[in-house]
């Protein structure tokens, strides 16, 4: 009776290993490409040397100074900055934090999409299609343009906006339960309204730089991302990953349907609400640092699920690697394809997402049937 | 006295009024029933008579408009969800599960009410799952994904999940409806063994009167939201009661040995 077990498990583990190995390779290549290329060009070897510079890694104070910021370091009397190579400074000050931000945005969006798909029992769900990203983006623009003094609260504003948008979408879609199509339609409605309001707010901006900044936001861009963005998203990423993984069994049980979940003793409404809150937190914090990057939360869970199955422990672990792979490679592509001009990464993921959506529709004919 | 748990086992519905929508009249209108512990009880009735609704209320899947359900001396409205799920399992008519979920993975979900958020599987969990696999005869296909099972195997897997939950009360809504005769026997025989060998109290909604006659110890016959008859099959399955409940004329055949007892519908009953 146990002789069947290893075979089946090996298959699952094998594709998981393959997924992780492929994802890590993509992340590594994207990271080196991102650190080497740019207006200050360096060879891949130089980039690698800068990334592994002993001057940084041997001195925790230097490392923490990058991570926690100059102001924090000064306030807590860190050791003085060591003199570092120019390449090291460029890599560590400008290029590495952008890669790290992309990585965490990838994790957050993939987790958010996976959780939304389980909570709404809807394979089309993702923070972007459910209007959560748009709501978060609108809240950010309001803060950015109308109350710039509240800048540090941007992630929280994004989460509040995302929550409001999700509640409205659910209310629109609700008709004694929801269907995938009604939820997506609700998302389209809220997305359209939030989009119009976003554009409207542009006209209230007094400063042209604020407006440019805001414009990049609405397409989703990592241009100019530095350690501040890393610090902004890192805590939320950690919370998302910990909560997401520890809730994986609950997500699995939700997939058995509301009645069965209740029969198994789950407080279904409370669980749904809390899990949606985690998904909104993940999406809101990535919108706060990268703007409205679309479709990552749709594509990644689908691809990972087709490789490792729908059990959430495996699915989320897969997303932990595949999310960063998609996001870092898309951002490297966006930054380097038309160099010196940088395309916002949201345009790349939008193109990918459109094609992927088409593929989903042709592949699964039952999608969209009531 | 109602606080005593072990002394007064049983599942009772007291003056239950059930409805899904305020705009419509109640589906069940102030009915009381007593499910006897350790027995197999079947709810029979025509479509729309309210038998599935009643079953849902007994499992707290539907909040009664008035009245209450008492499980082993406790009002089930006051029980914590997990506590209730440890005592009582319910299986619905239709199921949805991810197609790649294996039989074993599904059955492990039955342990949900026994595990805390961060608790890993205990030997007790493994033992319950193994026992459920053995009882349901699914050991050989434990690693097969659900979408590669036949309808009968799938139903057995869901029953096994509810079994892993190790509830004393198991409620089933038309467990045999979509199955061919062979699989109907598989499912009913499993249910019978759960009752006889494990002492589970079984409540099931059935359409097939002959299955009810053969397997149930007691029957409740429902007609438009009211319980019109209760008792052992031989007392409930009579020409008069069946005419009232199903609006058909039947012939009862009783000479097929001990379990042999058949209701043969002859024609639609003429309106009175």
- How many other C-beta atoms can be found within 10 angstroms of the C-beta atom of residue B1? 6
Q: Please name each of the domains of chain B with its CATH number.
A: 11-94+167-268 (3.40.50.300)
**B171 to chain A: nearest residue by CA?**
A263
Place of tokens 């599935």: B52
CB contact under 8 A, A264 and B91: no
Angle formed at CA B77 by CA B74 and CA B78, multiple of 5 degrees: 60
Interface test with B, best of A263, A272, A274, A310 (most B CBs within 10 A): A263
| Chain A contact for B105 (CB, 8 A cutoff) | yes
| Chain A contact for B230 (CB, 8 A cutoff) | no
Q: Please name each of the domains of chain A with its CATH number.
A: 5-363 (1.10.3470.10)
Q: Give phi and psi for B49, each to the nearest 5.
A: -80, -15
Residue range B86-97, pLDDT digits in tens: 999 999 988 888
For residues A336 and A32, is the Cβ–Cβ distance under 8 A? Answer: no
Residue range B122-142, pLDDT digits in tens: 999 999 999 999 999 999 999
What residues does B248 pair with on adjacent strands?
B268
| Chain B contact for A249 (CB, 8 A cutoff) | yes
Q: Choose the closest CB to B112 out of A259, A264, A310.
A: A264
In angstroms, the separation between the Cα of residue A298 and the nearest Cα of chain B is 18
Residue B195 vs residue B25, higher pLDDT:
B195
For residues A274 and A243, is the Cβ–Cβ distance under 8 A? Answer: no
Predicted pLDDT of residue A55: 83
| Chain B contact for A200 (CB, 8 A cutoff) | no
**B60 to chain A: nearest residue by CA?**
A263
CB contact under 8 A, A265 and B82: yes
The mean pLDDT value for B116-122 works out to: 81
For residues B184 and B159, is the Cβ–Cβ distance under 8 A? Answer: no
Q: What is the C-alpha to C-alpha distance for residues A287 and A233, in angstroms, rounded to an integer?
A: 10
Which chain B residues have a beta carbon less than 8 Å from that of A8? 102, 143
CB contact under 8 A, B91 and A262: no
Predicted pLDDT of residue B218: 95
Predicted pLDDT of residue B258: 63
Q: What is the C-alpha to C-alpha distance for residues A23 and A13, in angstroms, rounded to an integer?
A: 15
Place of tokens 């009579």: B238
Predicted pLDDT of residue A273: 87
Closest among A350, A363, A366 to A181, alpha carbons compared: A366
Residue range B43-76, pLDDT digits in tens: 999 988 999 999 999 999 999 999 999 999 899 9
Number of A to B CB contacts under 8 A, please give it.
Answer: 66
CB contact under 8 A, A263 and B109: no
Q: Choose the closest CB to A263 out of B59, B102, B105.
A: B59
Q: How many CA atoms lie within 13 Å of B131's alpha carbon, on the beta-carbon side?
A: 17
Residue B70 vs residue B2, higher pLDDT:
B70
Which chain A residues have a beta carbon less than 8 Å from that of B84? 265
| Chain A contact for B182 (CB, 8 A cutoff) | no
* pLDDT band at residue B189 using 50, 70 and 90 as cut-offs: very high
Q: Choose the closest CB to A253 out of B91, B109, B142.
A: B109
Interface test with B, best of A179, A253, A264, A307 (most B CBs within 10 A): A264
Q: How many CA atoms lie within 13 Å of A233's alpha carbon, on the beta-carbon side?
A: 31
Which ranges of chain B would DSSP assign to H, the alpha helix?
51-58, 81-87, 103-109, 123-136, 151-164, 181-198, 209-215, 233-236, 239-246
Which chain A residues have a beta carbon less than 8 Å from that of B115? 249
| Chain A contact for B131 (CB, 8 A cutoff) | no
Closest among A365, A324, A370, A330 to A347, alpha carbons compared: A330
In angstroms, the separation between the Cα of residue A176 and the nearest Cα of chain B is 11
Q: Distance of alpha carbon A161 from its chain centroid, rounded?
A: 17
Overall pTM surpassing 0.80 (yes/no): yes
CB contact under 8 A, A310 and B101: yes
CB contact under 8 A, B105 and A249: no
CB contact under 8 A, A8 and B143: yes
Which chain B residues have a beta carbon less than 8 Å from that of A259? 61, 92
H or E, element range at A163 = helix A154-173
Predicted pLDDT of residue A351: 93
Each residue's pLDDT expressed in tens, for chain A with a length of 370 residues: 334 333 333 345 678 999 999 999 999 999 999 999 888 888 888 888 888 888 888 888 888 888 888 788 888 877 666 778 888 888 898 899 999 999 999 999 999 999 999 998 888 888 988 899 999 999 988 888 888 788 778 899 999 999 999 999 988 888 776 676 788 889 889 999 998 998 888 777 777 777 777 777 788 889 888 899 999 999 999 999 999 999 999 999 999 988 999 999 999 888 988 999 999 999 999 999 999 898 999 999 999 998 999 999 999 999 999 999 999 999 999 998 887 888 899 999 999 988 988 888 787 665 554 4
């Amino acid at each position: 009776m146990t002789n069947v077990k290893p075979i089946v498990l090996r298959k699952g583990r094998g594709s998981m290993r393959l997924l992780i190995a492929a994802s890590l390779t993509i992340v590594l290549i994207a990271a080196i490409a991102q650190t080497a290329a740019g207006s200050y060009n360096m060879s891949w070897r130089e980039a690698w040397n800068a990334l592994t510079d002993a001057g940084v890694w041997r001195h925790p104070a230097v490392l923490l100074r990058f991570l926690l910021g100059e102001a924090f370091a000064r306030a807590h009397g860190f050791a003085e900055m060591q003199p570092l190579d120019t390449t090291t400074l460029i890599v560590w000050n400008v290029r590495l934090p952008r890669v790290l931000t992309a990585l965490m945005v990838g994790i957050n969006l993939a987790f958010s999409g996976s959780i939304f798909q389980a909570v709404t029992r809807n394979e089309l769900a993702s923070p972007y299609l459910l209007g959560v990203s748009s709501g978060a983006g609108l809240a950010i623009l309001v803060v950015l343009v109308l109350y710039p003094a509240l800048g540090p609260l941007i992630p929280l504003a994004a989460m509040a906006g995302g929550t409001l948008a999700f509640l409205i979408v659910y209310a629109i879609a609700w008709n004694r339960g929801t269907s995938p199509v009604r939820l997506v339609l609700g998302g389209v409605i809220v997305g359209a309204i939030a989009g119009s309001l976003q554009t409207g707010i542009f006209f209230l901006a007094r400063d042209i730089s604020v407006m440019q900044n805001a414009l990049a936001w609405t397409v989703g861009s990592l241009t100019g991302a530095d350690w501040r963005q890393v610090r902004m998203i890192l805590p939320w990423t950690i919370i998302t990953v910990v909560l997401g993984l520890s809730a994986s069994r609950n997500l699995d049980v939700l997939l058995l349907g509301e009645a069965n979940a209740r029969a198994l003793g789950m407080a279904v409404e409370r669980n749904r609400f809390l899990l949606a809150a985690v998904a909104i937190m993940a999406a809101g914090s990535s919108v706060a640092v990268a703007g409205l990057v679309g479709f990552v939360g749709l594509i990644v869970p689908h691809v990972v699920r087709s490789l490792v199955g729908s059990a959430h422990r495996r699915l989320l672990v897969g997303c932990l690697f595949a999310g960063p792979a998609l996001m870092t490679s898309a951002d490297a592509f966006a930054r380097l394809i038309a160099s010196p001009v940088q395309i916002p990464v949201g345009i790349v993921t939008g193109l990918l997402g459109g094609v992927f959506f088409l593929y989903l529709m042709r592949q699964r004919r039952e999608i969209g049937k009531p | 006295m109602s606080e005593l748990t072990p002394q007064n086992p049983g599942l009772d519905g007291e003056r239950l009024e059930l409805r899904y929508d305020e705009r419509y009249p109640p589906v069940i209108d102030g009915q009381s029933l007593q499910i006897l512990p350790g027995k197999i009880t079947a709810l029979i009735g025509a479509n729309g008579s309210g038998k599935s609704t009643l079953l849902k209320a007994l499992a707290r899947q539907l909040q009664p408009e008035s009245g209450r359900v008492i499980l082993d001396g406790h009002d089930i409205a006051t029980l914590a969800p997990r506590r209730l799920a440890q005592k009582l399992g319910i299986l619905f008519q239709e199921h949805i599960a991810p197609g790649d979920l294996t039989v074993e993975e599904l059955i492990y979900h039955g342990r949900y009410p026994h595990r805390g958020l961060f608790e890993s599987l205990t030997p007790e969990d493994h033992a319950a799952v193994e026992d459920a696999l053995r009882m349901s005869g699914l050991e050989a296909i434990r690693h097969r994904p659900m979408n590669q099972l036949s309808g009968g195997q799938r139903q057995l897997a869901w029953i096994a999940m509810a079994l892993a939950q190790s509830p004393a009360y198991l409620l089933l809504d038309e467990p045999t409806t979509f199955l061919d005769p062979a699989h109907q026997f598989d499912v009913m025989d499993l249910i019978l063994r759960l009752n006889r060998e494990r002492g589970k109290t079984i409540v099931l909604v059935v359409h097939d009167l002959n299955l009810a006659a053969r397997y149930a110890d007691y029957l409740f016959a429902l007609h438009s939201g009211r319980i019109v008859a209760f008792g052992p099959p031989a007392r409930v399955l009579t020409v008069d009661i069946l005419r009232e409940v199903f609006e058909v004329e039947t012939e009862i055949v009783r000479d097929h040995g001990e379990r042999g007892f058949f209701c043969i519908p002859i024609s639609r009953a003429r309106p009175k």
